[in-house]
Amino acid sequence: MTTDAAIHTTTELREFMGEPAGLAVAKAIDHLDQYCREFIVRSPFLCLGTSDAEGHADVSPRGDQPGFVQILDDHTLFIPERPGNKRADSLSNITVNPEVGLLFLVPGFDDCLRVNGHASVVREPTLLERATVRGRTPALGIKVSVREAYLHCAKAIRRSSLWDSDARQDRSALPSIGRMILEQTATEGAQPEPAVVSEVDALIEDNYKNELY
């Protein structure tokens, strides 16, 4: 055991924490059962974890109306790729490292669903057509072959009071996203002109209104 504060190996970690047992281990299944399916059908939001060939990690949000993730069978999911800023971090990662982790949330549910598997970026017309919203069909999607799925307990969401209306914070406590990005990308010490901030904020809002699909 090392003497510094960091834990460097799985062996050290297990010496400190012990081994999982019982339902903590048994709950991980290799397919989507009735309850996994019902959870996914109700979920309007998920977090998608990917990493590149070097292991650099990324987590990206995906959101739409409940049921936007298609359940193709007990082992396969399809996630439509909606318009974005063309960074395509998740898609790029999947092309070189197909291992992904999904975290499904349902407003009002304190528990959540975790799904891990193998993903690919696809252009399958039938799946894409099913994902058409407001007359707009996505050009790409992510197909996930499920390796394991399990329900995650409510502790994190209860600690965070995530769905508690009394825990909502005032968005005006921070500047607009346009201003923050402009300040982050400005030359050190420079402040963006108010007119530029207004223009960027208007462009962002227009994108929200007209480019969600």
Choose the final residue of a domain: 160, 180, 198: 160
Task: Note the pLDDT of residue 3.
Answer: 59
> In whole angstroms, what is the distance from residue 83 CA to residue 139 CA?
9
- 37 CB contacts (<8 Å, ≥6 apart)? 71
pTM for this predicted structure:
0.93
Domain count within the chain: 2
- Do the domain assignments include residue 2? no
Residue position matching structure tokens 């994902």: 131
> In whole angstroms, what is the distance from residue 12 CA to residue 145 CA?
32
> Domain range spanning residue 194?
169-210
Task: Note the pLDDT of residue 30.
Answer: 97
Are residues 116 and 156 part of one domain?
A: yes
45, two tokens: 């939001």
> In whole angstroms, what is the distance from residue 13 CA to residue 99 CA?
24
Note the helical H segments in the chain: 10-17, 23-26, 34-42, 89-96, 125-130, 155-160, 177-185, 194-210
Are residues 130 and 60 part of one domain?
A: yes
75, two tokens: 């082992």
How far does CA 95 lie from the centroid of its chain?
17
57, two tokens: 């990690």
Choose the final residue of a domain: 160, 177, 198: 160
Q: Which of 127, 139, 141 is nearest to 73 (CA)?
A: 127
Are residues 189 and 88 part of one domain?
A: no
> In whole angstroms, what is the distance from residue 154 CA to residue 199 CA?
42
Task: Note the pLDDT of residue 188.
Answer: 86
pLDDT in single tens digits along all 213 residues of the chain: 455 789 999 999 999 999 988 988 899 999 999 999 999 999 999 999 999 999 999 999 999 999 999 999 999 999 999 999 999 999 999 999 999 999 999 999 999 999 999 999 999 999 999 999 999 999 999 999 999 999 999 999 999 999 999 999 999 999 999 999 999 999 988 999 999 999 999 999 999 999 999
Task: Note the pLDDT of residue 189.
Answer: 81
Are residues 44 and 148 part of one domain?
A: yes
